[in-house]
Amino acid sequence: MSRPAQATAAPRGEDGTGLGWWRMLVFSLPAGPHAFIVMPLMVVLPGFYASNTAVTTAQVALVISLGRVFDAVIDPFLGHMSDRTPGRLGPRKPWLISATLICPLAIFFLYQPPRDAGFVYFTAWSFLLYVGTSMFEIGRGAWSAELTRDYTERSQVSMVTAFFNICGSLSFWLLPLLLAKTAGTTAITGGTLSALSWIYLFVMPPLMLLSVWLVPVGVPQIAEASLSAWRAMLSSLRLCRPLWHYLAAISCWGLGQGTFMTVLYVFMTDYMQLGEKFPVMMLSYFVIQLLVMPVWGRILRRVDRHRAWAVSLAVDCCSRLLILLLPVGPEAFVPAFAVVAISATFATPCNFLPPALLADVVDYNTLKVRSNQAARFYALNSLAIKIMQALGGGLAFACLAAADYQIGKPNPPEAAWGLLVAYLGIPTVLLLAAAVLAWRFPLDRVSQRTIRRRLERLATRTA
């Protein structure tokens, strides 16, 4: 027997339409501390464990790969359970509250490892954190898709969330500078990771509870069809062409970005010899993204979001190639900073446009199969990104291993090719492929408005 999806209407803003900026703000606040811990998980933690604990480089690569296999099982399950969760809080909020309990525990131990921490320690706490971050990302993504169906407002919700994502990432790169007097260096150390874990522990829970308390469940949803949940999902996978198009684009981006991010720290410290300047460069990267976000907001009033994403991907990956023209050493800081500024400007839409595009796909599918599967779609999205970024990480380490490149140690010039392929070669090809797929995405502003009107009529009939 079918059951009605949760149907709590979003309150109106001060102008009589939409959510209102303050609700977008409260909804997005937890994104800050989440990004604060996810950034080092991707960029710093693999290298930190390989060089500061008993975990070897090969074991780090194995844990990352096994983690993605684990995600392949747990993410679809979490998405399915979220879509089927009844109750006064709606289907998303209980999972976000659970994530707020799990993540602090995992982070406390994972980000403060003893010197003799080994393979089992790294694996156990990493996997627990994977569960918590999946709960948060899937729940938040599905909730954001249900907050509004307005084309412009949907981009705004994603943009405000991205603003706090960037603030969280920015805070991480700012932390070594704030600790420089006591640590004696601006480099990222074990003390940096320890401070991070305590900050998250005190900041994330109250922000998440505030969001759950003040932000509505979302717009009214249509009643679900009589198909079982899994039959509806299979129908979606078979019939929803925009979903496959989106997943192809995001997978290319994830694989390329995973390869790039895995060796970013190594490239800037080992190859470019800018280790002391690296936190400053990353800090500037996120400051620039915050500054240019309003510019992209104005562009999106006139340009469909899939076209804006395509252009940003192409320009971003091509601008990174300029690093090949620069010298190595401290004198490279100023021109390298310019390259970082260009990349930051055009990478900004990647922070908020893909979730908005996926929300459009959710609406399209809901209209087709008469079943709201937002969490399952965001689980597929999360799974695709995680798997591809993990494969990218493994691919990056494979390139380093093939060139016999030793992280943090002197290397002969001929070993640099592996690092260059991982940092520039593979990401450039894959991000250009993602740009082509994004440009050809089938749902534009006009089609989304048509879908929205039909869904609103159906929701009225089945309420």
Please give the Cα distance from 272 to 266 (Å, whole number). Answer: 9
Across 1-19, average pLDDT: 43
CB-hemisphere CA count at 13 Å for 297?
A: 15
Q: How far apart are the first and last CA of the chain?
A: 16
Asked, for residue 413, whether it belongs to a domain, the answer is yes
Position 208 confidence tier, pLDDT thresholds 50, 70, 90: very high
Residue carrying structure tokens 């981009």: 155
Q: Is the pLDDT of residue 28 over 80?
A: yes
Q: How many domains does the chain have?
A: 1
pLDDT at 221: 61
Asked, for residue 298, whether it belongs to a domain, the answer is yes
CATH number reported for the structural domain that contains residue 105 in this entry: 1.20.1250.20
pLDDT at 109: 95
| 327, two tokens | 């010298």
User: How confident is the model over 258-270, as pLDDT tens digits?
Assistant: 899 888 888 888 8
Q: Is the pLDDT of residue 6 over 50?
A: no
Distance of CA 454 to CAs 19, 366, 367, Å?
A: 20, 10, 8
Across 443-454, average pLDDT: 91
What is the pTM (predicted TM-score) of this model?
0.81
The pLDDT mean for the chain works out to 85
User: How confident is the model over 341-366, as pLDDT tens digits?
Assistant: 999 999 999 989 999 999 999 999 88
Instruction: Tell me 421's DSSP state.
Output: I
pLDDT at 4: 38
Asked, for residue 11, whether it belongs to a domain, the answer is no
Residue 227 structural domain: 22-462
User: How confident is the model over 38-59, as pLDDT tens digits?
Assistant: 878 877 888 888 888 888 888 8
Q: Is the pLDDT of residue 463 over 70?
A: no
Q: Is the pLDDT of residue 7 over 60?
A: no
User: How confident is the model over 81-106, as pLDDT tens digits?
Assistant: 888 887 788 889 999 999 999 999 99
pLDDT at 153: 87
Position 224 confidence tier, pLDDT thresholds 50, 70, 90: low
Position 11 confidence tier, pLDDT thresholds 50, 70, 90: very low
Residue 336, SS3?
helix
Asked, for residue 46, whether it belongs to a domain, the answer is yes
Asked, for residue 90, whether it belongs to a domain, the answer is yes
Asked, for residue 17, whether it belongs to a domain, the answer is no
Torsion sign over Cα 400, 120, 261, 306: positive
3-state DSSP percent of the chain in helix, strand and coil, to 5: 80, 0, 20
Asked, for residue 103, whether it belongs to a domain, the answer is yes
347 burial (CB, 10 Å; 0-12 / 13-18 / 19+) is buried
User: How confident is the model over 91-144, as pLDDT tens digits?
Assistant: 899 999 999 999 999 999 999 999 999 999 999 999 999 999 999 999 999 999
Q: Is the pLDDT of residue 3 over 50?
A: no
Residue 1, SS3?
coil
pLDDT at 159: 92
Across 210-222, average pLDDT: 81
Q: Is the pLDDT of residue 188 over 90?
A: no
Instruction: Please indicate whether residue 408 or residue 453 has the higher confidence score (pLDDT).
Output: 453
pLDDT at 126: 92
Position 233 confidence tier, pLDDT thresholds 50, 70, 90: low
